[in-house]
Amino acid sequence: MNKAVVGAIIALGLALTAAGGYWLGQKRASAPVDSSASGVAAGVQGKGIGGAAVTQNAPASVAVEAVKAVMKPLPKSITAVGSLRSDESITVRPEVAGRISAILFQEGQRVVKGSTLIKLDPAINAAEVQQARANLTLAKSKFDRAVDLAKSNFISGQAKDEAENNLRVAEAAVALAQARLAKTEIQAPFSGIIGLRVVSVGDYVKEGADVVNLESIDPLKVDFRIPETFLRQVQVGQSLQVALDALPGKSFEGKVFAVNPLVDAGGRAIVIRAVVRNPDTSLRPGMFARVRLITGDQKDALVVPEQAIVPQGDEQFVFRVVDGTAARVKVEVGQRRDGKVEIVKGLAPDDMVVIAGQLKIRDGTAVAVSAGTPGVSEANSATLPAPAAVAASPRAPANGGVRAKAENTPPTAPKS
Q: CATH number, domain at 98?
A: 2.40.50.100
Spell out the per-residue pLDDT of the chain, length 416, in tens: 566 666 667 767 776 776 666 666 655 555 444 443 344 334 434 444 444 444 455 568 899 999 999 998 887 788 899 999 999 999 999 999 999 999 999 999 999 999 999 999 999 999 999 999 999 999 999 999 998 888 888 888 888 889 999 999 999 999 999 999 999 999 999 999 999 999 999 999 999 999 999 999 999 999 999 999 899 989 999 999 999 999 998 999 999 999 999 998 888 999 999 999 999 999 999 999 999 998 877 778 899 999 999 999 989 999 999 999 999 999 999 878 778 899 999 999 999 999 999 999 999 999 998 754 554 443 333 333 333 333 333 344 434 333 333 333 344 444 43
* CA gap 83, 290 in Å, rounded: 8
Is residue 199 in a domain? Answer: yes
Residues 266 and 188 in one domain: no
Is residue 106 in a domain? Answer: yes
Residues 104 and 203 in one domain: yes
- Domain end position, chosen among 235, 270, 298: 298
With vertex at residue 284, the alpha carbon angle to CA 283 and CA 285, rounded to the nearest 5 degrees, is 135
Contact call for residues 350 and 68 (beta carbons, < 8 A): yes
Through-space distance between the first and last CA atoms of the chain, rounded to whole angstroms: 34
Contact call for residues 369 and 352 (beta carbons, < 8 A): yes
Give the H/E segment covering residue 241: strand 239-244
Contact call for residues 68 and 351 (beta carbons, < 8 A): yes
For the chain, the domain total comes to 3
Is residue 237 in a domain? Answer: yes
Cβ contacts of 381 within 8 Å, gap of 6 or more: none
Give the H/E segment covering residue 19: helix 3-36
Cβ contacts of 188 within 8 Å, gap of 6 or more: 111, 112, 113, 114, 115, 117, 214
* CA gap 398, 386 in Å, rounded: 13
Helix (H, G, I), strand (E, B) or coil at 384: coil
Is residue 369 in a domain? Answer: no
Residues 228 and 283 in one domain: yes
The DSSP secondary-structure symbol of 406 reads P
Helix (H, G, I), strand (E, B) or coil at 394: coil
Tell me, letter by letter, the H, E, C secondary structure of 80-98: EEEEEEEEEEEEECCCCCE
Helix (H, G, I), strand (E, B) or coil at 158: helix
Q: What share of the chain is helix, strand, coil (3-state, %, to 5)?
A: 30, 40, 35
Residues 250 and 282 in one domain: yes
- Domain end position, chosen among 298, 316, 335: 298
Residues 292 and 223 in one domain: yes
Residues 174 and 188 in one domain: no
Residues 101 and 202 in one domain: yes
Helix (H, G, I), strand (E, B) or coil at 13: helix
Domain holding 294, by residue range, is: 77-85+218-298
CA contacts within 13 A on the Cβ side of 403: 20
Residues 188 and 245 in one domain: no
Residues 189 and 146 in one domain: no
pLDDT of residue 410: 40
pLDDT of residue 78: 87
Cβ contacts of 151 within 8 Å, gap of 6 or more: none
- Domain end position, chosen among 245, 272, 298: 298
